[in-house]
Copies of this chain bind each other. A is one copy, B any other.
Amino acid sequence: MVTVVLFLGLAVALINPSVAGVADNRIDRFSSQNDGSCELPDALLAEIRGYQPIVNKIIDKIVNGEFAGRTWDGLAELVDTFGARVAGGEQLEKAIDYAVQKMQADGLENVHTENATVPHWVRGYESAELVKPLRKSLPLLGLGSSIGTPRGGIIAEVLAVESFKEFEAIPAEQVRGKIVVFSPAWESYGRTVVYRSQGASVASRKGAVAALVRSVTPFSIGSPHTGQQHYQDDVKKIPVACITVEDAQMLLRKYRRGERMEIHLEMEDRPMEPVVSRNTIGELVGTTFTNTSVVVVSGHLDSWDVGVGAMDDGGGALISWKALAYLKAMGLRPRRTIRAILWTGEEEGLYGGAAYKEAHKAQEAKEFNFFFESDIGTFEPRGLDFVGNADAECIFREIVKLMSPLNATEFETPTDGGPDISHWTTRGFPGASLLNKNEKYFWFHHSAGDTMAVEDPKNLDKCVALWAAAAYVVADLSVSMPKDIHP
């Protein structure tokens, strides 16, 4: 149960959201219930509801007006020009330079970059072929941080299992010297991705010479998917890659029929020294609170090195940047600053967010009001996924209701789609992630299928409209979003 603390002065101010100069941090508590039911003060409720006309205007201008289609065009130009933007690579840095220049041209303020050290891992020539009992090419993608094979590759017998549990029961002497194939059934990304992230370590512990993992997707048209993996500290590093769903299933069937199989695996992949990349930042400076209580809207600009990262996460980056551009062009400037951050080095482990957190740590409690992140697709928006305390939740539930013109009023909690902002949201800062109709997200994720073909112009318009409208309201409210920061 959260206590009610409402100052009369504020309650009055709440009635008219256009009142400027309200002391932003005078309160951070008011009525709400832990069971999700809320008892917002009438004045605050009225204030939030009072934003409906401006929300409607923002949505209409972006979806039906002069901005319609521009976000898709902008994203297409970005990914067509620079292609994949992997951390440590030249294309990412060129894309950052381009984003800085284009953000300035779009009228964003205080456009700059902030350094972040990111891993640098390079995919070289990669090839896997089943050579016994028949020859069959096995399309593969080495996993981020994987070492390569010796030159010329390795040829080893195959041991295929469906699960870690099945693998546990196999004695090490049967594993030693073999290539272990993990062919887990898809359950969910969270449950299945452990085979990608841990497969090499699990296999290496029993003496395997390499691990090949079913791509982490529920559906495939013969495409392998990449992603990050982590060697546990005390295991010998072995090469690890994802193969297609189809080939993983085939190898498991053949193994279970008792067939003796050999694979020739060659990977020139190699980890390099970390390099300095940059988070890219632009703002719409607030009318009242210019250096405190910032509302962050964000997505990551880096991608994997396959496909072009239009979905993961070009879309998230673009809607964050374009939300500010369109608000500015519409002459809308909220009380608080809205800051677009295009993270770098997300794919390898949230490095951009981590660097930003460290650099802003001293003043973070004052500096940040709310964090938005879009990194689970920009398909048709459904609403917003929230994380934060019960008070903030009560306010945010009302804000989401304003998105009715987009038919995007779904509210979920807790968020699961904000990896970079988790640097803050796991410590009590409130935040939200874009809920969207992303049922097919993992079909394309980290694969050659992550391209503009996934993105729909109208849906992108709707996403940026929701993003702009929600960020505007949060940034303009007379109250800051409540938070309970913990270390």
Contact = CB atoms under 8 A, between A and B. Distances in A.
A134 B82 contact: yes
A222 interface: yes
A358 interface: no
B80 A452 contact: no
Contact of A221 (B81, B250, B254, B443): B443
Interface in A216-257: 220-223, 244-246, 249-250, 253-254, 257
Interface in A86-138: 91, 133-136
Contacts of A76: 253
Contact of A453 (B220, B308, B452, B453): B220
A444 interface: yes
B307 A222 contact: yes
A222 B447 contact: yes
Contacts of A222: 223, 306-307, 447-451
A139 interface: yes
A83 interface: yes
A132 to B, nearest CB: 12
A134 B81 CA distance: 7
A401 to B, nearest CB: 35
Nearest to A82: B134
Contacts of A443: 221
Given A221-B221, A453-B220, A80 B448 contact: no
Given A91-B134, A249-B453, A443-B221, A244 B448 contact: yes
15 contacts: A80-B254, A80-B257, A81-B133, A81-B134, A139-B448, A220-B449, A221-B221, A221-B443, A221-B448, A222-B447, A222-B449, A245-B453, A246-B449, A249-B453, A250-B451
Interface residues of A, number: 37
A162 to B, nearest CB: 15
Interface of A: 76-77, 80-84, 91, 133-136, 139, 220-223, 244-246, 249-250, 253-254, 257, 306-308, 443-444, 447-453
A292 to B, nearest CB: 41
B451 A246 contact: yes
Nearest to A73: B253
A444 B83 contact: no
A256 to B, nearest CB: 11
A444 B134 CA distance: 23
Nearest to A225: B221
A449 B224 CA distance: 11
A308 B257 CA distance: 18
A447 B221 contact: yes
Contacts of A246: 307, 448-449, 451-453
A331 to B, nearest CB: 30
A82 B254 CA distance: 12
A254 B452 CA distance: 13
A73 to B, nearest CB: 9
A81 B133 CA distance: 8
Contacts of A444: 221
A433 B82 CA distance: 47
